[in-house]
Structure 1
Amino acid sequence: MTAWALRELRRSAGRYAASVAVVAVVTTFAVLLITAIGAFTGAARAQGADVGTAKAVLEVVGGVFLGIAVTVAVIVVSNTFSTIAAGRIKDIAVLRLIGATGKQVRRTALVDGTAVGVVGAVTGIGAGLGLGAIGVKLMRSWAHLTVSFPWSVQLVVVPFGGALVATVLAAIVGVREVSGVSPSEAARSLPEGRPVSNAVRRRRIAAGVVLGGLGLALLVCGVLVGYAMPPLGLMVAFFGGLLTSIGVVLAAPVILPPLVSLVARLAPRAAAPRLAAANLRHDAVRTSRTVLAVMIGVTVLTMFQVAGNMAVMSFRSYTRPVQDMEQVQQAIRGMLVAVDVLTSFSVVVAAIGLASTLAISVLQRRRELGTLRAVGFTGSQARSMLLTESLLVAGTGAVGGVVLGSLFGWVGAVSAYGKYADRTLQLPWLFVLAVAAGALVLGVVASLAPGRRASRVPPAVALMDI
C-alpha cells in the first residue's frame, strides 16, 4: 500500500500544489503572528513596562484568527484530498478486491498528507521568517521603534508541528469516505464524486440540528443575560456562536446545496449555467466544503463590521462628550482594519481552495467535458460553465456569511452592552456591496485557469476509458 501511495503521489504531485500553497499561507501567518507578538512585547519589556496581560491578550486574539485560518485550510485540504481520492476509485477498488482493508487505504493518506504538510510548512516558515525580518527592520528604520527580531525555537517548531498535524488529519478525513466503499460499489462509482448516503445525511442533519439549536438557544440566553450582566452575556453568546457554527459545518452537505440552487435561479436560463448548477448539486460534500471556506471569512468580516458599528451607536446612547466619541470611533476603525488584515489570510486560503477544486474537477470530468464538446458544446460554453460554478460557490458563501455574520455581530453587541445597546442592526450598505464585488472578483479569478483548461478538452476524450 505504501508503494502504491508513493507512486500515486508522484503521478498526482501537481494536483497537490494548491494544498501546499494553502499550508504555506497559514504557516506564514502563524510565523508572522508569533514574530509580531514577540517583537512588540520585547520592545515594551525593554522600556520597563509590564507586558504580562498585554501579551496574553495578543496571544488570545492571534490564536483566534489563526484558528479561523487553520479551519479554512483544513476544509480546503480535505476537499482536495477527497476529490483526488474520488478520482482513484477504480484503483482503490482493485486494491480492495485483492485484500486491502479500508483502514489500509486510509493509511495511504498519511503519505500524501505528510508530504504536503512538510513542503508547505517549510515553505511557509521560510517566507514567514523572511517577511518578519523585513517587517522588524522597517519598524526600526521608518517608525524608529526599538524592536528586535524575536528568535526562538517556537518560531519553527510550533508552525511546523501544527501544519503537519492539521494537514495529515485533513488528508485522513478527505480519504475516509472513499476508503469505506465496498469493492463492487467503488468499481461502479463515478470518479467525479459520490452523493451523500441517506444514513450519513440523517446523522449530519441530527447533529447539525442538535448543535445548531443549542447554539441558537445560547445566543438568545446571551442577549437576555447581557441585560443584567453584560460581560457574562457576551461569554454565553460566544459559546452559542461556536456551537451554531459547528452545527452549520456538520449539516453543510444538506443545507448548502439547496442554498446554491436558490442562488442559481439568478443565473441565465442557458445550457452552461444549468449544467453548472447540476454539477454543484451532484457532489454535495465537495460543494458544501468549498462554500464553507468562503463563508467563514465573510462571516468573520461581517460580524466585526456589525458589532463595531453597533458599538459606536451604543456608546453614543449613554455618553455625550464629542472627544470621547471621536476616540471610540478611531479605536473601532483601527480594530476593524486589524480584523480585515487578519481575516484576509483565511480569504486568500478560500480563494486558493476554490480555484483548486475547480481545477481538479476539470481533470476528473474530462470525459464528461469531451462528451459535451462532441454534442456541440463550445469552448466558450465550457468556460462559462466553470465560471458559473465558481460564481455560485462564491456568491452562496458570501450570502451565507453575511447572514451568519450579521446574526453573530448583532448578538455580540447586544449581549455586551445590555440595556444600553442600540438594537438596530448596523450593516453598512457599502460593506455589503464590497462583499458582493469581492465574491464576484473571487469567482472570476478562480475560474480563469480551470475554464481555459476545460475549453481545450477535445471531443475525442469522450471515447477514451479514463
Structure 2
Amino acid sequence: MLRLTLAQMRRSLARLVAAGVAILLGSAFVTATLTAGDVITRGGYDAITASYGSADLVVGPVEENLADVLDTARRAPGVVATDPFIAGWASFQSGRRTLNQTIVPVPSDPGLASLEVVAGRAPTTPTEVALPDRAAERLGIGVGDVLTTTWWVWSDEPAPAAEPTGPSSDEAAGDVEDVPVAEESSATEVTGEVTVVGLVSDPHGAWARFGGAGTAVTEAVVTWTGAETLDEVYGARVLVATDGSPAAARAALTDALPGIDVRTRDEAAAASVEQYGAGNVVVLMVLGFAAVSLLVAALVIANTFQVIVAQRTRMLALLRCVGARRGQLRTSVLLEAAILGAVAGVAGVAVGLALAQGALSVLNRVQDGVPLPPFVQPTPGNVLVPVLVSVVVTVGAALVPAHAATRVSPVAALRPADAPTVRARPGRVRLAISLLLSVGGTAVLLGGVAMARSDLAVDEMLNLLVGVLGGSASFVGLLVGAPLWLPHVVSAVGRPVSSISTSARLAAANTLRNPRRTSATSAALVIGVTLVVMMSTGALSAERTMARQMDEEGPVDLVVVTGSGAAVSASVRGRVADVDGVADVVATRTATVTAADGGDLSVVVVDAQDVHVLRDAASAEALAEGRSVLPRWWARDATSLVAEGERTATIDVLPRNTDTALLASPAAQALGVADGDPDALLVRLEDGTDAATAILDVQQAVQDDDMQVESSAAKRQSDERVIEVVLAIVIGLLGVAVLIALIGVANTLSLSVIERRRESATLRAVGLSRRGLQAMLATEGMLIAGVGALVGTALGLLYGWAGASTVLGPLGDVRLSVPWAHVGVVLVVALLAGLVASALPARAAARTPPVAALGVD
C-alpha cells in the first residue's frame, strides 16, 4: 500500500504541490507565531525588569534589616551572589559644568549587572565612580578625571550643618567642604571628590527614565541615598544569582526569610506589570494571535486539501474495479495525507524559523534599547507543534472525501459526473450544525468580552480561553454554513455586474450553480482576510489602549526638582523652555503628605490652570475639578483621604495606576502646602520628540543648578518600542496569512475550472469566444474574491474588536480602532488575487479545443 500511495503521489504531484505550499505556509505561520511569542515574552519581561540584570531570584521588597537579609541570603544553599537593589542620586561637577546622576551599586556578580562597562573599569572603592558615557561627554571628562560630588543627607530634626560622610575619606577624598543649611531645613548638603574610573552604557534601557545611571560601590550608593547604613534604606530588593538550581535556592530562601517574597525574575516582571492592574497584555495578545492563527491556518489547509482529494474520486473508483478494498483505499488516502502533511510541515518549520530570524536581524538593527535575542532559539514545542498540526489537519481534511470516495460504486464513479445545478443545496444537518456553532460560539465570545470588561474571571487567561473558544466556534460555524448564505451574497453583489456584458451575466449566474464550489472558493479568502483585518484591528486597538494606559501611569513627561528644596529660578525655567522638543513648562511646588494611617507620599501641586501640561485626560479633568490624583497603591480605591500637611484635612482623590502623585490646589491650601516659591518644573514634550534625547538636553540646560530630572516620557518611549516590535512581528505574519489566502483562492479556482472543463467546452461550441470565456472566468474570480474580502473585512473587524476587548478589558476603557489603510489594501489585493488566480486556468480552458474537452475521460 505504501508503494501504491507513493506512486499515486508522483502521478498527482502537480495537484499536490498547491496543497503542499498551503500546508508549508500554514506551518511556517504557526512556527513564526510561536517563535515570536517566545521572543516577545522574553523581550517584554526583559524590558520590564532590565534593571534586575540576569538575576535568577528577586527577594523583597525588604522593609527593614536589609543587611541581615543580605547576609542570610548569601548563606543559603545554591546562592552564589547577592546584591542590594537600591539607587542613589548625586550631583557631579567638573569646572563650571554640573550633572545630576542616578547611581546604582557595582554588582558582585556579572549576571546581576544592568549596566555595561564600555571603557575603563568598575569602581572598587567609595571614592570611585563610573558614569554613563553620554554624561561624561556632557561634563567634558574622561576616565581618570576627578569630580566634585554633592549629595544631601536628610534628618528628622532641623540641623544647621552636618559632617561629611560617605565616599570621601581622609586618604583619597581631598578637601571636604561643609555647607551650612538654614535652621528651618532638615537637609544637609555634603560634598566630596571622586575619581571617574570607567564609563558605562545602559544596553537595555533599564534606567532610561532617569536619563541613564552610573555605578559605584554599595557603600557610596547608600550614602548618596541620604542614609547612614544599609538598614536605613527602605523598600529595597535583593538580587540573587544561583549555581544553576534556582528552585532549590528559592525554597531555601523562602524558609530562611519568612514573610518576604522570593520570586523568579519572570515572576518579578509579572508582579511589576500587575501593580498597574493590566496583566501581561503583550503576552496575552501574542497568545491570542497564536491560538487564532493555529485555527485559521488549519481551516485553510483543510479546505485546500479536501478539494484536491475530492478530485481523485474517479481514480479511486478505478482501483476499486481492479480489486482494491474500501479499507485499503481509505488507508492509502490517509497515508498520502500524512506524508504530505509531514513533509510540508517540516519545510514550513524551516521557513518559519528563517522568517523569525530575518525579522530579529532587522529589528535588532533598527530598534535601539529593546531587549531582543540575536538568534531564534527553537524549542521542542515550536518545532513539533507545527508539524503535528500539519499532519493532523491534512489527515483530518482527507477523512471525509476519502470516506465518500470509497462508498461510491465503481461503475457509478466511472460515469461522467452530472453538471451541478442550483437544486444541489446543502442539507438540514449542515444548517443545524452551522446555527449551533455560530449562535453558541457568538454567545460564548460575548460572554468572554463581558467577563474581561467586568473583571469577573478568576484569571485573565480564563478570559482569553473563553474568547478564543467562542470566536473559533462561531467562525467555524459560519464556514460550515457558508454554502447556505455565501453564494446568495455573491449573487446579490453580482446583479449590478451582470448588466455589463454577456460574460459578466454568465459569471454572475455561475456563482449560484454550485453553492459548495462558490463557497469553497470564496471561503479561502474569507479566512485569510478575516485573519488579516482581525490582527490589524486588534493590534491597532491594543496600541492605542496601551498608549492611554501609559499616559495614565506617567501623566507628566518630565519632572525637574531641586535637590535641596530651594526655589526654581526664572532663568532655569527659561532654559528648560528653550530646549528643543519642549512644548510647555509649568512651575509648581512639591510637598510630603501623610495619610491618617501614617504612610508618607511625595506630591506635586498642580493648579487648575496648569492641567494642560498633563498627558492623562482623566487626571487633568479631575485636577481641574479640584480632585487630587494619587497612586492606587497608596490611596487604594478611596475617593477621599484624611491627610496631614501643616494641617489635617480631608481631600477628594481620584485613584489612578500611577506613581506620580498630583495634589489639587484646594487640597494643597487645606493642608497648608500651597504657599511658597516653586521648587519643581512640570514639562510637556512635543509629540514625536525623542524623550531620551530630551531628558539629556534638559539635564544639560540645568547642569549648573542643583536639579534632578525624572522622565516618564523616556519610560513610555521604551515601552512603546516594545509594542512596536510586537506590531512589526504581527505585520510580518500578516504577509504569510495573505499568501495562504491567495494559495487557497488559486487552488479552488483552478480546480473549479478543471471541474467545469465540459461546461466551458459547451459554451465554446455554442459560440462563446475565447476572450469571452476568459472574461467570464476572470469576472467570476474577481466577484467571488471581492465578496470574500468584504465578508472577511466585516468579520475581521468584529473579531478584532472582540479580541481586543477580551485581552485588554482589565485595563478599563478599550480604544477600538479601524485600520483603514489595511482594509483598503486588503480589498484591492483581493480583487487582484481573484483576477490573477483565474488567469492561468482560464487561459488553459480557452485554449482547449471544444471537441477534445467534450470527450469522456
Q: Is the 8 A contact 1:113 1:168 kept in 2?
A: yes
Deviation at 1:202, TM superposition (A): 0.6
Q: How does 1:75-224 map to 2 (within 5 A)?
A: 75-96=299-320, 102-134=326-358, 147-154=374-381, 156-183=383-410, 186-188=413-415, 190=417, 201-221=427-447
| Cα distance, 1:248 vs structure 2 | 0.9
Answer 1 or 2: which has greater helix percent: 1
2:833 pairs with 1:442:
yes
Distance 1:227 1:116, change over 3 A: closer
Match of 1:249 among 472, 479, 491: 479
Q: Is the 8 A contact 1:413 1:421 kept in 2?
A: no
Structure 1 residue aligned with 2:525: 294
Letter in 1 for 2:345: A
- Correspondence list, 1:279-428, <5 A: 279-306=510-537, 312=544, 321=555, 323=615, 337-412=728-803, 421=813, 426-427=817-818
Q: 1:95: how far off?
A: 4.5
Partners of 1:230 and 1:417 within 8 A in 2: no
Comparing 336-345 with 204-213, which one deviates more in the overlay? 336-345
Residue 86 of structure 1, CA deviation: 3.7
Give 1:411 shift: 4.4
Cα distance change of structure 1 residues 310 and 47 upon mapping to structure 2, 3 Å threshold: closer
8 Å contact 1:214–1:244 — kept in the other structure?
yes
Any conservation in 2 of the 1:223–1:414 contact (CA below 8 Å)?
A: yes
| Paired residue type of 1:18 | A
Counterpart residue number, 2:89? none
What displacement does 1:350 show?
Answer: 1.0
Deviates more, 1:84-93 or 1:231-240: 231-240
Amino acid at match of 2:9: L
Q: Please identify, of 351-360 and 311-320, the stretch whose mean Cα deviation from structure 2 is larger.
A: 311-320
> Conserved in 2, the CA contact under 8 Å of 1:74 and 1:170?
no
> Are 1:191 and 1:364, in contact at CA under 8 Å, matched by a contact in 2?
no
What's the CA shift string for 1:378-432, capped at 9, x where partnerless?
2222222222222122212212122223333444566755996589x75455444
Does residue 1:26 correspond to 2:32, yes or no?
no
Q: Which moved more, 1:107-116 or 1:63-72?
A: 63-72
Which residue number in structure 1 is paired with residue 160 of structure 2? none
SS at match of 2:856: coil
Deviation at 1:344, TM superposition (A): 2.9
Identity, in percent, stands at 33
Pick closer, same or farther for the CA change 1:263–1:3 going to 2, 3 Å: farther
CA–CA separation in structure 1 for the residues paired with 2:283 and 2:805: 26
- Greater shift after overlay, 148-157 or 382-391? 148-157
Deviation string, structure 1 residues 144-195 (Cα, Å, up to 9, x no partner): 8663442555554443333222222222244344444445653456288798
- Do 1:277 and 1:389's aligned partners in 2 also have CA atoms closer than 8 Å? yes
**Which moved further from structure 2: 334-343 or 456-465?**
334-343
CA distance, structure 1, for counterparts of residue 347 and residue 392 of structure 2: 16
Distance 2:40 2:468 in 1: 28
Taking the aligned partners of 1:277 and 1:149, their CA distance within structure 2 comes to 49
> TM-score of the superposition, structure 2-length normalised?
0.47
Q: Relative contact order: is structure 1 or structure 2 higher (C-alpha 8 Å, sep ≥ 6)?
A: 1
The 3 A distance-change label for structure 1 pair 420 and 3 is closer
Query: Amino acid of the residue matched to residue 750 of structure 2?
Result: A
Shift of 1:351: 0.3
8 Å CA contact 2:305, 2:398 repeated in 1: yes
Is 73-82 or 5-14 further displaced after alignment? 73-82
Q: C-alpha displacement at 1:120, in angstroms?
A: 1.6
* 265-274 or 376-385: bigger deviation: 265-274
In structure 2, C-alpha distance between the alignment counterparts of 1:268 and 1:37, rounded to whole Å: 47
1:87, 1:192 within 8 Å by CA — same for their partners in 2? no
Shift in Å, 1:61? 5.0
Question: Partners of 2:373 and 2:729 in 1: how far apart?
Answer: 22
Alignment partners' CA distance in 2, 1:411 and 1:131: 29
Q: Deviations over 1:440-460 (max 9, x none)?
A: 222223223223322322222
Q: Which moved more, 1:217-226 or 1:411-420?
A: 411-420
Q: SS in structure 2 opposite 1:265?
A: helix
Contact 1:256 1:288 in 2 (8 A): yes
Once the two structures are overlaid, the 10-residue window that deviates more, 34-43 or 113-122, is 34-43
Partners of 2:797 and 2:354 in 1: how far apart?
Answer: 37
Tell me which residue corresponds to 2:14: 14
Pairwise CA distance, 1:37: 4.9
Deviation at 1:256, TM superposition (A): 1.5
Pairing partner for 1:48 from 30, 54, 60: 54
> Are the counterparts in 1 of residues 22 and 304 from structure 2 also a CA contact under 8 Å?
no
Higher gyration radius (CA): 2
State the 1:287 CA deviation: 2.8
| 1:72/1:174 CA distance change after superposition, 3 Å | farther
Q: 1:306 touches 1:410 (CA, 8 Å); kept in 2?
A: yes
Stretch moving more, 283-292 or 320-329 = 320-329
1:32–1:410 CA distance, 2 compared to 1 (3 A): closer
Query: 2:418 and 2:720 mapped to 1: Cα distance?
Result: 54
Amino acid at match of 1:162: V
Determine the C-alpha separation between the residues in 1 that align with 2:812 and 2:35: 39
Distance 1:74 1:131, change over 3 A: closer
Measure how far apart 1:203 and its partner are.
0.9
> Which moves more between the two structures, 12-21 or 128-137?
128-137
For residue 481 of structure 2, give the secondary structure of its aligned residue in structure 1.
Answer: helix
CA distance 1:334–1:14, shift in 2 (3 Å): same
Look up the equivalent residue of 2:511 and give its one-letter code. L
Q: Which amino acid aligns with 2:388?
A: G
Structure 1 pair 192–315 and aligned structure 2 pair: CA distance change class (3 A): farther
User: 1:23: how far off?
Assistant: 1.7
1:247-277: per-residue Cα shift (whole Å, max 9, x none)?
2122122122212212222423333233333
User: What's the offset of the Cα at 1:13?
Assistant: 0.9
Paired with 2:420 and 2:394, the residues of 1 have a C-alpha distance of 21
Cα-Cα RMSD: 4.3
Q: Is contact 1:68–1:346 with CA below 8 Å preserved after alignment?
A: no
How many equivalent pairs are there?
A: 463
Q: Is the 8 A contact 2:526 2:792 kept in 1?
A: yes
Further displaced range: 13-22 or 98-107: 98-107
Which of 390-399 and 45-54 deviates more? 45-54
